[in-house]
Amino acid sequence: MQLSVWTYEGPPHVGAMRIATAMKGLHYVLHAPQGDTYADLLFTMIERRNHRPPVTYTTFEARDLGKDTAELFQQAAREAAERFKPQAMIVGASCTAELIQDDPAGLAEAMDLPCPAIALELPSYQRKENWGAAETFYQVVRGLARRDVERAPREGRAARANILGPCALGFRHRDDLVEVRKMLAQLGVEVNLVAPLDASPADITRIGEADFNIVLYPEIADEAARWLERTFDQPAVRSVPIGVGATRAFIAEVAELAGADPTPALGDTRSRMPWWSRSVDSTYLTGKRVFIFGDATHAVAAARIARDELGFEVCGLGCYNREFARDIRAAAREHGLEPLITDDHLEVEDAIAEAAPELVLGTQMERHIAKRLGMPCAVISAPVHVQDFPARHSPQMGFEGANVIFDTWVHPLVMGLEEHLLTMFREDFEFSDDAGPSHHAAHSPAAARIPVHDELASLEEAEAAPSALDADGDDSHRWTDEAERELKKIPFFVRGKARRNTEAFAQDHDRWPIDVETLYEAKAHYAR
Amino acid sequence: MSDTTILSGCDSAPASEKASARPILRERGQREVFCGLTGIVWLHRKMQDAFFLVVGSRTCAHLLQSAAGVMIFAEPRFATAIMEERDLAGMVDAQDELDRVVDRLLARRPDIRTLFLVGSCPSEVIKLDLSKAAERLGKQYMPRVRILNYSGSGIETTFTQGEDACLAALVPEMPRAKSDAAKQLLIVGSLPDIVEDQFLRLFDQMGIDNVRVLPPRDSRDLPAVGPNTRYLLAQPFLSDTAMALEDRGAVRLDAMFPFGAEGTTDWLAAAAREFLVDDALFEKVTAPGRERARKAMSHLRGQLEGKRISFLPDSQLEVPLARFLTTELGMIPVEVGTPYLHRAHCARDLARIPQSARISEGQHVDRQLDRVREDRPDLTVCGLGLANPLEAEGLSTKWAIELVFSPIHGFDQAGDLAELFARPLRRRDRLEV
């Protein structure tokens, strides 16, 4: 048993859901107990999808266990086929169903469903979300790709590529894809297929028609790409275009495979990051110590950008997905670091505290850790929260991605001039060592001064704003002790408003001192 | 007595009979609901010296972190002991593993006074005996830490039933009240502190002074229970807790649930009658709050009156809330879906829901969504897995979980409760994009 509060990855069937939700015309029948539908809201809330994920859960309950859960599964599969008329289905078990040993694969096979049903074996007690996504994508490709496709000779036609990996709940996948498509257009490369995002099972059958594959997210597409390489002799582009240097390498690699001229793509004038980074106000960034943690692909890319394109010093590098530990080890060697490969956030926290970086680049969890330690932080990798599925175009890939990354990483830092003043006037009452950047409305208390559990208390102090009536000087009798205590029970983020409203109400109705009744009279008065 | 208590009399026919006369649509199939583990998200805030250790899979940990969202604190008071292959393959003794995890946890957290070992689907399916573990570990750690067990698994519990299971596990630990002890009033169900204090104040003003709450804020300060105990359910989802209390001699006071002016009055009146509070005093104590509730709601009645509403099953709060919206704000319930209907506990609320409303228990989510699309209510109360998809189909929604996570009981929250339903409609009318 592993004691855990936070998990970087969900169980493998959530990875399978990410593939099903990304695709069109594919339905997932998941043998799972009541309650596992919680995962739907990752898609409808965090990613804000406007439709339900195409997943039917058998939702068995305790009373079903003695009886025929297998029958429940078949009924769910039948109903899903009838209602949604998918082109293909994937069937599998969640962690609990794995224990009751119904065999979704065998059951589906015995049913004579009107569409192909691809069985998934996802060992929930050994593997995790990314692995589940990769395995599912691989099985879908393997199960649906037509083996008899003939690629026309290359003369007289554009090169064709598959873009593999963009997925539901992927960090910036939507916008990365836009940038990658632009680059391919500049290189004159045709997109045969993007998968899994927005691909249908019918599309997948044509996957063998491309000349080569582009693996955007190895965590999801690497397994499938290796099978395609063996089966259709399709080479794979494995440079991930995150950062200016990596984008140039990507363009060169695609151009090489496509027999295209890379010059127009390399000369893309939207690349502002190099000049921003060279301009003198970026000088203060030199040698800033940065700690990097995330999925291996994003962490390795971030380390390269940090060192070679922003002039930071990488002081820590790690990933949570063991499957790609090799990449992190190689990169860490290059930066002269010990790699950190762990899915235990407490270990990550200790490593960050130990390294004492000036900037943390990580996931949602590192954001929490950095907040606690009073360090600036930017997000570079899943898992992420709702604010990292933004409305605006915010790629990480390509030259526009590099522009986004420059802004995102530099934003949490104190600006150069301010940094100088902070060092000069260390005792200044407004500028103190504890103050965060002045362009942030709120900033975390310095860890050394305020222990973690006092976070709320400090927020309460902050909200106890002086009221409009403090001017009369004598406020000792304005609130009875009981009313003051009652006010304290109102959540801190609305307490200031409640105080002001109540006092205005008391003023208008001449109700001094304010007692509990007055407080609630005012509440009712202002309710709307 | 006040007009509302006359209303609540409804002596023409017992409410329970009327309720049982109406047809209930019972459905089975795919359910879009939370499991009982989700209760931990608010229970751990209520009992500040308790820790909740789920024994489950990565899915359970993932659910908790998804539900607790931004609440993953530095030192949260809940965690998951994630079972691994070794635990399932019998390579290690799960009980030994559990001992190891609990020892480590309690060494790290000396502030914990009560530890709940919470069962999950995986632990229930492999029949890991957590009650035995709780007993064994309890021997080791009492009196410093009390160790209890309940199940929040999806195969047994839906969403708020997790709280029911947790409180039911506390009942056997409650001290026995002396047979000659004074009559005690017990409020059952975790309420936000501010609401709890309002109720305690009202009872105090009525002269009912022996009042306790389950769960207490301090998990080790459990109220006594016995034949002298009269209890009021503050929440409709506490059937097992109620049964456990009755096993120990406590008697339930039948009332509507305390939502809005009418519901709160009825709920308070049940206690007032039992404790022989004088009518005039009752009126004097409750009238100001009732008046405030009406005033606060009157601002919103115009926005809600005549609007049609459907509830999808979520928390068992659906029946009392549909009653509140119908009788106090003039809304028209179309379908009231609930994961489980406790007829006796909800009888008084159910009797006031018009016969035209469809009451459904359980769920077949696709068929239920077909009905929502056919009914096209002005507002659909549903979970977060369905809210945005329905909005995208042009149906306004109110997400249900907020009703469990906000102060909504009592006179002084009536306006806030009405506002929760009015806001999505007002927003829909305001937006021009």
Residue-level pLDDT at A428: 56
Residue by residue, what is the 3-state secondary structure of A207-240?
HHHCCEEEECCHHHHHHHHHHHHHHHCCCEECCC
The B397-399 sheet, strands edge to edge:
B25-27, B358-362, B332-338, B308-311, B379-382, B397-399
Residue-level pLDDT at A500: 84
Contact (CB, 8 A) for B19 and B347: yes
Range with the lowest mean pLDDT among A328-332, B5-9, B30-34, B269-273? B5-9
Query: Cα(B429)–Cα(B431) distance, rounded to whole angstroms?
Result: 6
Residue-level pLDDT at A423: 59
Q: What is the set of domains in chain A, with CATH numbers?
A: 12-128 (3.40.50.1980), 160-268 (3.40.50.1980), 273-411 (3.40.50.1980), 481-527 (1.10.8.550)
DSSP A444: P
Chain A hits for B36, Cβ within 8 Å: 35
Contact (CB, 8 A) for B377 and B368: no
Q: What is the distance in angstroms between the Cα of A22 and the nearest Cα belonging to chain B?
A: 15
Most A-contacting residue of B40, B48, B59 (CB-CB within 10 A), to test interface:
B59
Contact (CB, 8 A) for A191 and A131: no
Residue-level pLDDT at A251: 97
Asked if the Cβ–Cβ distance from B74 to A452 is below 8 Å, we say: yes
Query: Cα(B133)–Cα(B129) distance, rounded to whole angstroms?
Result: 7
User: Where are the strands (E) in A336-479, listed by range?
Assistant: 339-341, 359-362, 377-379
With cut-offs at 50, 70 and 90, classify the pLDDT of residue B201: very high
Mean pLDDT in runs of 10 for chain A (528 residues)?
A: 90 98 98 95 94 96 83 94 97 94 89 94 95 98 94 89 98 98 96 98 97 98 98 96 97 96 87 94 90 98 98 97 95 97 93 92 93 90 94 97 97 72 58 56 42 36 38 62 87 73 92 93 86
Q: What is the distance in angstroms between the Cα of A178 and the nearest Cα belonging to chain B?
A: 24
Query: Cα(A291)–Cα(A350) distance, rounded to whole angstroms?
Result: 12
Residues 6+ apart with CB under 8 A from B210: B182, B183, B184, B185
Q: Which class is domain B184-280?
A: alpha beta
Whole-structure pTM value: 0.89
Chain A hits for B329, Cβ within 8 Å: none
The tokens for A126 are 């050994």
Q: Which class is domain B36-157?
A: alpha beta
Asked if the Cβ–Cβ distance from B69 to A11 is below 8 Å, we say: no
Residue-level pLDDT at A269: 77
Which residues share a beta bridge with B187? B213, B232
Per-residue model confidence as pLDDT tens digits over B3-22: 333 333 333 444 444 545 78
Which architecture, in CATH terms, is B3-31+297-431? 3-Layer(aba) Sandwich (3.40)
Over residues B116-142, the mean pLDDT reads 94
Chain A within 8 Å of B72 (Cβ-Cβ)?
Answer: yes
pLDDT, greater one: B135 or B72: B135
DSSP A307: I
Query: Cα(B400)–Cα(B139) distance, rounded to whole angstroms?
Result: 41
The tokens for A66 are 């003695």
DSSP A479: B
Residue-level pLDDT at B90: 74
Chain A within 8 Å of B387 (Cβ-Cβ)?
Answer: yes
Q: Among all residues of chain A, which has the CA nearest to that of B339? A: A34
In the predicted model, is pLDDT for residue B194 greater than 60?
A: yes
Q: Residues, chain B, total?
A: 433
CA–centroid distance for A311 within its chain: 26
The tokens for B100 are 């190891």
Q: Residues, chain A, total?
A: 528
Chain A hits for B100, Cβ within 8 Å: 1
pLDDT, greater one: A466 or B158: B158
CA neighbor of B106 nearest in space, from B32, B49, B153: B49
With cut-offs at 50, 70 and 90, classify the pLDDT of residue B138: very high
Residue that is written with structure tokens 């003023």 in the block: A507
Query: Cα(B357)–Cα(B158) distance, rounded to whole angstroms?
Result: 23
Contact (CB, 8 A) for B361 and B27: yes
Chain B within 8 Å of A48 (Cβ-Cβ)?
Answer: yes
Alpha-helical (H) ranges within B111-205 are 121-125, 130-141, 161-170, 193-205
- Sign of torsion over alpha carbons A307, A312, A316, A318: negative
The tokens for A187 are 């290189």
Please list the residue range(s) of chain B that carry CATH number 3.40.50.1980.
3-31+297-431, 36-157, 184-280
Residue-level pLDDT at A177: 98
Q: Among all residues of chain B, which has the CA nearest to that of A456? A: B73
CA neighbor of B315 nearest in space, from B186, B418, B402, B192: B402
Query: Cα(A188)–Cα(A215) distance, rounded to whole angstroms?
Result: 18
CA neighbor of A58 nearest in space, from B161, B154, B340: B154
To the nearest whole number, what is the mean pLDDT of chain B? 92
B87, B155, B419 member nearest A33 (Cβ): B155
Asked if the Cβ–Cβ distance from B72 to A6 is below 8 Å, we say: yes
Residue-level pLDDT at A268: 80
How far from A426 is each of A423, A431, A434, CA to CA, in Å?
6, 7, 10
